[in-house]
Amino acid sequence: MSSKEIDLHGALKQYFGFSKFKGLQEAVIKSIVAGNHTFVIMPTGGGKSLCYQLPALIKDGTAIIVSPLIALMKNQVDAIRGVSNNEGVAHVLNSSLNKTEVKRVKEDIVSGVTKLLYVAPESLTKEEYVDFLRSVPISFMAVDEAHCISEWGHDFRPEYRNLRHIIKRIGDHIPIIGLTATATPKVQEDILKSLDIADAKTFKASFNRPNLYYEIRPKTKQVDADIIRFIKQHPGKSGIVYCLSRKRVEELAQVLQVNGINAVPYHAGLDPKTRVKHQDMFLMEDADVVVATIAFGMGIDKPDVRFVIHHDMPKSIESYYQETGRAGRDGGEGHCLAYYAYKDIEKLEKFMSGKPVAEQEIGQALLQEVVAFAESSISRRKFILHYFGEEFDNATGEGGEMDDNVRHPKKRHEAQEDVIT
Ligand code: ADP
Ligand code: MG
């Protein structure tokens, strides 16, 4: 190593206590340290935060981190403060701060103590903040959850659309880092365009989860009995059952309980105390199964979830991937079982009917992919990875045999046409 080269492993150990980089982290960090626009696509849990945190800590100036969720920003700030033993090293700038607190943040930035400044995109619309940030050295700007820029993403946020404009006002030559776990080519294109970083160095990790088994069964009237049978075949194992509606969550949780399965319901309509209680019961293994709407899962990191059941199909392949992705985090078995009926797709369509036309069209297109996925006879894994712009060869790829269509090919006459070319 030349004397000029920065000791990245040393910094990794010193600040985070890790001895190895995960996946593409080191390459990404080198790109950011070199001052490139950089685009990072990694699945959830891939370790994206460290990709900008480490360069922020070792570079001159303050890095601005744009993130959509205040709760997540607070967690990250606390974690960074912990590792560097310094309150001022990371700050959040948002509307909840009073004058004194804002003054403190500004002083820490001016004196060079602050290496990471987390902001919500709406805070960046404040003239006062933009003027201030123009006047201080900025190392780079990281846009986390960058798919929020795209209407094709699952979490579009209009404030994200203005980011490029605001970054230009803060400084002309600030390196921009986009990070996301959404890998569809359309969303990626949108991000590069909207941030105006067509020349960004792009790093994309594989989205393959070789230890997950994917299976889709036709949904019949016997679906509840089928689910009960499946769960009883996995006694004592942790699992999540996703339902579309709160009502269905309540009903199914009860049916499972009556049948001797240790299940708890979870949805946004329950009072916060019950929600926390049920979540904890699941995490502490006082309950084997949580029956939930999609309100359950964000930030839940239970490594040994052995199955994820979709009682109803989700509204996009991204959602399906995220939700099934909660199984087998520890690398052990993870069975992903979904029940499909076209009727349910029509229900999802109906939900969108009040929305603006453009949004409906996008929603329809995403749903059609779900239909194609469910009705297809080609490998589920191949389909998912293709959707995320990744070619997969079942003969040589990891997990190539881990889905129903590969293990039990449909007979010719019942097979649907292949939808991937
Ligand atoms: P993402 O944002 O991609 O979903 P996170 O940044 O939240 O992922 O990181 C996921 C987990 O991986 C965190 O618990 C983090 O501490 C851990 N992690 C990140 N980098 C490393 C590493 N090099 N070695 C070990 N653990 C790591
Ligand atoms: Mg993240």
Between the CA of 398 and the centroid of ligand 2 the distance, in Å, is 25
Q: Which amino acid residue places its CA nearest to atom 9 of ligand 1?
A: 47
State the alpha helices, DSSP H only, in 114-162: 127-134
Distance 129 CA to ligand 1 centre (A): 30
* CB distance 43 to ligand 1 below 6 Å: no
Give 355 Cα–ligand 1 centroid separation in angstroms.
36
Judge if the beta carbon of residue 82 lies within 6 A of ligand 1: no
Element at 239 (helix H, strand E): strand 238-242
- Please give the pLDDT value at position 271: 96
Instruction: Pick the range with the lowest mean pLDDT from 69-83, 156-170, 212-226, 335-349.
Output: 69-83
Residue with the smallest CA separation from ligand 1 atom 23 is 21
How much is the pLDDT for 86?
Answer: 86
For ligand 1, whether the C-beta of 182 sits within 6 Å is no
**Average pLDDT of the chain, as a whole number:** 93
Q: Which residue minimizes the CA distance to atom 25 of ligand 1? A: 18
Which residues lie across from 176 on neighbouring strands?
Answer: 141
DSSP codes of every residue in 247-298: HHHHHHHHHHHHTT--EEEE-TTS-HHHHHHHHHHHHTTS-SEEEE-TTS-T
pLDDT bracket for residue 156 (50, 70, 90)? confident
Query: How remote is the C-alpha of 145 from its chain's centroid?
Result: 8
Q: Which ligand is nearest to the CA of 41?
A: 1
ipTM above 0.90, yes or no: yes
Q: What is the pLDDT of residues 77-101, one digit of tens each?
A: 998 998 888 899 999 998 888 999 9
Choice from 44, 49, 76, 180 to test ligand 1 binding pocket (greatest atom count within 8 A of CB) = 49
CA of 181 to the centre of ligand 2 (A): 8
pLDDT, tens only, 190-211:
999 999 999 999 999 999 999 9
Which pLDDT does position 411 carry in this prediction?
62
- The better pLDDT of the pair 71, 287 is held by 287
Does the pLDDT at position 214 exceed 90?
yes
Q: Is the CB of 21 under 6 A from ligand 1?
A: yes
Of the listed ranges 72-76, 289-293, 413-417, the one predicted with least confidence? 413-417
Ligand nearest to the CA of 44: 1
Q: Ligand 1, closest atom to CA 48?
A: 3
- At CA 358, angle to CA 354 and CA 360, rounded to 5? 45
Would you place residue 4 in the very low, low, confident or very high pLDDT band (cuts 50, 70, 90)?
A: low
Is 46 near ligand 1, meaning CB less than 6 Å away? yes
Distance in angstroms (rounded) separating the CA atoms of residues 291 and 22: 33
- Residue 318 pLDDT level (bands cut at 50, 70, 90): very high
| Residue 16 in this model has a pLDDT that exceeds 80 | yes
pLDDT at 105: 96
**pLDDT tens track for 275-306:** 999 999 999 999 999 999 999 987 778 999 99
The pLDDT of residue 418 is above 70: no
